[in-house]
Amino acid sequence: MNENSNLIFYQQAEHFTAAADISHFPILDIPEVCFAGRSNVGKSSLINSICTKRSLARTSNTPGRTQLIHFYKIKNKLFLSDLPGYGYAKAPKSKILEWTKLMENYFKNRVNLMRVFILIDARRGVKNSDHELMTLLNIIAVNFQCILTKIDKVSATALKHRINETKKQIENYAAAYPEIIESSANKKIGIDKIHECLNLILNINGITERE
């Protein structure tokens, strides 16, 4: 894809459905990627930047607000899914268990899931809840790649340290892609790199924006 057709393709993203349990998961034989991360890590903002639509995914300043899996479809060629934020300690235990079960069912039942993008706040680094997800993905053999978010909020020195630290944190996971993507939804940093990753997934599956 050239730059213009790339943007046009992703701008055609539309909200497809929201699922509270496995019975509501959409069934379409197209590649899928998902975005996961701790509460308030910036998943919705990043999805909006990827698709250059300010209000495609709803953002909230209240951690734990998103309690459903939201699916976004691009021209019947690609699903982007936005998972509930995890690691929010103030949520009721019953709600945390509910979210955890929902995400486990998602990862174990999405046969066309090509990659999980795990978003890590550049200011805070990888946490135990991130490792729990990485361990699950490693066990069920689902590839994941880390995206550092909000890199505009840290210094260049701190960012370099965080990148090196993150690489060390994931090096023992066979399911992990070694490359760390640096991003900022506010500054539109890293969006082109994410597009490259998505384009590669589409190409691997024999799909182009012209079909």
**Beta carbons of 137 and 107 less than 8 angstroms apart:** yes
**Beta carbons of 35 and 46 less than 8 angstroms apart:** yes
pLDDT at 86 over 70: yes
Give residue 207's pLDDT.
66
Please write the tens of the pLDDT for every residue from 155-184: 999 999 999 999 999 999 999 999 999 999
Nearest to 74 by CA among 50, 100, 93: 50
Task: Give all domains of the chain, ordered by start, each with its CATH number.
Answer: 3-204 (3.40.50.300)
The vertex-66 CA angle with 143 and 118, nearest 5°, equals: 20
Q: Two tokens at 13?
A: 């993203």
> What is the rounded average pLDDT for all residues in the chain?
89
This prediction's pTM: 0.91
| Helices and strands, counts by H and E, the chain | 6, 7
pLDDT (mean) for 84-110: 81
pLDDT at 210 over 90: no
Q: Two tokens at 64?
A: 């734990």
